[in-house]
């Protein structure tokens, strides 16, 4: 059964603003998650320079032996990436859904300070629902 291990959201400067893990695989303590976030931010930036094609917008998919990493970067430079089991389908669509939840429940919240860690109850609630729906859909296939 395909599964999501963790979700990261990093701001345009590479700082971690949201981290959630689902299950013990890929669980990280606070410091490690911060390091992974800035590591990914740098790798993503470097990949744009290394790319042999013009107009590359950075790494979208990283496939390793034990996990896959799907990354979506919005036009404003915020990056949303999931670490999941190898071969998990429809992660791009899930990232887009999470992006929409971010615009609804984080950006429309006047109490949220831009680029700061996300502490919005509604975002958490709706994110959990979206991931659950995704799990159910995957199980149904």
Query: Among 75, 46, 76, which residue's Cα sits nearest to residue 58?
Result: 46
44-73 footprint of another protein as x/- string (CB under 8 A): ------------------------------
Nearer CB in complex with another protein: 78/88: 78
Q: Are 5 and 23 in contact (CB under 8 A)?
A: yes
Q: Does 108 bind another protein (CB under 8 A)?
A: yes
Q: Does 127 bind another protein (CB under 8 A)?
A: no
Q: Which residues contact 125 (CB under 8 A, 6 or more apart)?
A: none
Nearer CB in complex with another protein: 67/99: 99
The residue ranges of DSSP E strands in the chain, in sequence order, are 4-10, 16-21, 61-63, 68-73, 79-84
Nearest approach, Cβ of 110 to another protein (angstroms)?
7
Burial profile 112-129: b = 16 or more Cβ within 10 angstroms, e = fewer: beeeeebebeebeebbee
Q: Does 119 bind another protein (CB under 8 A)?
A: yes
Nearer CB in complex with another protein: 59/106: 106
Q: Which residues bind another protein (CB under 8 A)?
A: 104-105, 108-111, 119-123, 125
């Amino acid at each position: 059964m395909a599964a999501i291990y963790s979700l990261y959201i990093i701001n345009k400067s590479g700082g971690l603003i949201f981290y959630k893990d689902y299950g013990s695989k890929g669980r990280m303590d606070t410091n490690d998650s911060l390091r992974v976030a800035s590591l990914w931010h740098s790798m993503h930036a470097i990949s744009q320079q290394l790319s042999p094609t013009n107009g590359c917008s950075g790494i979208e998919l990283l496939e390793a032996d034990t996990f896959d990493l799907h990354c979506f970067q919005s036009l404003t430079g915020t990056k949303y990436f999931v670490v999941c089991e190898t071969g998990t389908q429809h992660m791009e669509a899930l990232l887009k859904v999470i992006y929409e939840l971010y615009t609804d429940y984080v950006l429309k919240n006047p109490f949220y300070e831009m680029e700061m860690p996300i502490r919005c109850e509604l975002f958490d609630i709706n994110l959990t629902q979206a991931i659950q729906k995704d799990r159910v859909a995957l199980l149904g296939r």
